[in-house]
Each structure stands twice: as structure tokens, then as C-alpha cells.
Structure 1
Amino acid sequence: MIDMPQQIPTQFRDMAEKNFEQAREAFLGFIGAAQKATGSADAIPTPAKEAVTKAMTFAESNVNAAFDLAQKLLHAKDVQEVFSLQAEFAKTQLEAIQSQAKEFGESAQAAFQSIAKK
């Protein structure tokens, strides 16, 4: 059986922290540009624009949750904590995605009804 170290080396943590911050900054720049583009797209009908905005909000929330998990994993003390954090994340995200799907479905239905009335 392979003997795996229980501690994550400091050099690895430092490198991962730097890469993590670069990835988060890149994502924030991307989502900001996408929100700006959606907000200024006058050709998109209001119900569709609201649906796109809601989808982007959900995507941003989900990616931020993944970044939060990554941040916690960077500071995990051992493999056991990594597994615990991952299990907690999976449970929380499943609940969030179910809620988001329900809310998005309701929003889409309202948008379709709004368009149908015209």
C-alpha cells in the first residue's frame, strides 16, 4: 500500500493560492464583462434579458461556491478535512442547484406567459 503524506507542503499551498487568486480575478473580469454586455443589449426582449440575467446570477453563485471550496481546500490540514469539505460542498450545491432550477423554471414560465399575452 502507498503511504501518502497527511500534510500538504507549504510550497504547494503557496503556488495553489497564487493560481487561485489569478483564476478568481479572471472569472470576476469575465462575469463583469458578460453582465455589462447583457445589460446594454437593447435588442433582447425584457423577459429574455431577465432570464439571461438570472442564469448568469446562478452561474456566478455556483462558481463563487466552487472558489470558496477551493479556498477552504487550500487551507485543509489533512486528507480527512479535504473529504469532509468536499462532501459538504456536494450536499450544499445539490440543494442550491435544485432551488435554482425551480426558480429558473418559474421565471421562464412567467416569461413565456408574458410573451404569449402579446
Structure 2
Amino acid sequence: MTTKPPNFEIPPEMREVAEKSVEQARKAFDGFMGAAYKAAGTLEGTTDTIQAGGKDIGRKALTYAEQNVAAALEFASSLVKARDPQQVLQLQSDFIKSQLQAFGEQAKDIGSTAGKIASDVAKPQK
């Protein structure tokens, strides 16, 4: 005899509160990123190799942080809409896979940029 698992349902009020919380977090993060980009923009007055390379890495790091937080907020939004535990597990599995891939690509890109900066710094100056 098979038993049907209990129905997993999030009450509409709870879902609405969770969705509003995710949206508020998204707005707060957007404000933070705007301020961070503005602050990074004030550092653009110098032109030597190390400062330019550091600025490039900083911009990449901000971009990746923004992408990663956006992905996490999207994941949270998806979880709120999940209909059953299996869907929650699938969403979590998909999120972990995509984030591990993204982190790997981001680390490779930043490492490559850092290597280029080191190479440029080591070159004889003309």
C-alpha cells in the first residue's frame, strides 16, 4: 500500500510576505550596487598599470558580486513559489550547480586578469 505524501502548500499570506521581503532585499542591493559603482568611478583618475589593473579587477568583482546576489535573490524567489519538497530540492540542486560553474568561471577570469597585470608590471618600462 502506497501512501501519498502530505500536501505541501505555503499559505498565500506567507508567500506574499516572502515575495515582498525578496523584493525589498533586491531594492536594497540595487541601491548598494549603485553606491559601489559610484565609489569605484571616483577612482578612475590614475593611469599607471597597477592602478588600472586593480580597477579592472575591482569592477569585475563588483559585477560578479552583483550577478551572484541577483542569482541568489532569483533562487529565493523561486523557492517561495515551490509547490512541494521535490521542487525545492530540484531548485536547490540547479542553483548549486549553476553557482559552482559561475564561481569557477569568475575565479578563472579574475586570475587571468591578475596574471596579465603581473606580466605587465614585470615588463621593462619604455
Q: Which amino acid aligns with 1:40?
A: T
> CA-to-partner distance for each residue in 1:19-78, whole Å, 9 max, x for gaps?
111100000000111011001113581111001001111111111110111111111111
- CA–CA distance in structure 1, aligned partners of residues 30 and 8 of structure 2: 33
Offset of 1:115 from its aligned partner? 2.4
Aligned identity (percent) is 44
Q: Who is 1:28 aligned against?
A: 30
Runs of 4+ that moved beyond 4 A? none
1:116 Cα deviation (Å)? 2.6
Distance in 2, matches of 1:22 and 1:30, equals 12
CA contact (8 A) 1:8 1:78 kept: no
What runs of 5+ residues in structure 2 fail to find an aligned partner? Answer: none
Q: TM-score, normalised by structure 2?
A: 0.85
Letter in 2 for 1:33: A
Query: Secondary structure at 1:45's aligned position in 2?
Result: helix
Given the alignment of the two structures, is residue 66 of structure 1 paired with residue 68 of structure 2, yes or no? no
Indicate the RMSD between aligned Cα atoms, in angstroms: 1.7
Task: Give me the TM-score of the superposition, normalised by structure 1.
Answer: 0.90
After TM superposition, list the pairs within 5 Å mapping 1:1-118 onto structure 2: 6-41=8-43, 42=45, 45-117=51-123, 118=125
Unmatched segments (≥5 aa) in structure 1? none
What is the deviation of 1:4?
6.7
C-alpha distance in structure 2 between counterparts of 1:8 and 1:39, whole Å: 44
- d(CA) in 1 for partners of 2:29, 2:102: 20
Count of residues paired in the alignment:
116
Q: What letter corresponds to residue 35 of structure 1 in structure 2?
A: Y
